[in-house]
Amino acid sequence: MPQRKLGPVPVLQARGVAFGSCLALALILTLTLGGLVSLEALGADGTASVSAQPQRSGEGVGLVLSPIPAWVELAMRLVPRAPLEAQASSDYAQLILRAQMNGTLVSSTDGRVLSLRRVTQRLIQEAPRWSAMAPGWRWEVNLVKDSQINAFCMPGGKVVVYTGLLQTLALSSDELAVVLGHEMAHALREHSRQRLAKGLAAQGVSRSVGVVASGVLGVDPRLTDRLALEGANLWTLKFSREEETEADLVGLDLAARAGFDPRAGLGLWRKMAQMSSREGAQWLSTHPSHESRLSEIERHLPQVMPLFEHAQHLERVKTYHLEESARGQH
């Protein structure tokens, strides 16, 4: 789902251009040698695509994602974690304050807010599997009156859900858990930080390729600048779609471990598909197509269903012991 944009980080732009120049040099050398290789090939595992492999544990089968490509990890050094989370916290506080002043912030005693926080709390308990920082975050969950069908989780665990999402889609608890798990996954996997880092690197690559092409090949620099920027946009859009797919998978894993039925993801995205008046080409979209999204969820359900079944078993055992304890007191 669309995520609220964070404030700019201008001090990193120059460093991003310099870093991008190094990436550009690697790309240009590759082209010169006659081998067109994607920047994704610079990844530690040879691919930047989302790949989830099963992993067995005492809880059943879980998801293990491919590692972040090496060049992305290097670019992420341009965007320190602490300032980004501080900026997100500040933006979130302003958003909540504005909602309070406008009378659109739903009361913390409202049943919908209580339900949201109960579901989120169960998901938070499973979050450390996906981020070692999660236990130290000051998680916040708020509901804002707005007709748009949207929700987001900012870096540091700041969650906002709009009433339009709850009212329009009439979400079950399982579907709500899948939505919240998806949004939390963006924060847990540091997608905002990755997006900013990739943007800075892409900016540097664009400018460097333009300079080299215009100087060596004699092409009008205005043309190379335009083509380079358009290429950079397509590049960042591609990763954005992959991040959305990754968030889908991590969200399913979180929901299943917390005892929510991950199959609800299929019903959720079918509802979303029905609400979409029109859908653009997948290549130029920041989200996967609904058909692609449903296919990925179905493909990975066998890996997360055992987690859900294990959580259900633990809940039954807990309920049994509570009932036995209550009988013993009478």
Q: Kindly report, residue by residue over 122-165, the tens digit of the pLDDT.
A: 999 999 999 999 999 999 999 999 998 889 999 999 999 999 99
Please report, for the chain, how many H helices and E strands are present, in that order: 10, 5
Average pLDDT over residues 193-215: 64
Please, which residues have CB within 8 angstroms of residue 171's CB and are 6 or more apart in sequence?
A: 165, 179, 268
The pLDDT value recorded for residue 184 is 96
Separation CA 19–CA 78 (nearest Å) = 9
**159-188 average pLDDT score:** 95
DSSP secondary structure code for residue 262 in this structure: T
183 is catalytic: yes
| Region of poorest pLDDT, from 55-64, 143-152, 249-258 | 55-64
User: Is residue 274 a part of any domain in this protein?
Assistant: no
Catalytic residue chosen out of the listed positions 40, 140, 175, 183? 183
| pLDDT score recorded for residue 73 | 86
- The reply to whether 267 falls in a domain is no
Total domains, the chain: 1
pTM of the model: 0.73
Neighbours of 292 (CB within 10 A): 14
Is residue 177 a part of any domain in this protein? Answer: yes
Residue 268: inside a domain, yes or no? no
Domain holding 308, by residue range, is 10-260+282-328
| The most confident of 47-56, 161-170, 219-228, 316-325, by mean pLDDT | 161-170
CA distance 50 to 52: 7
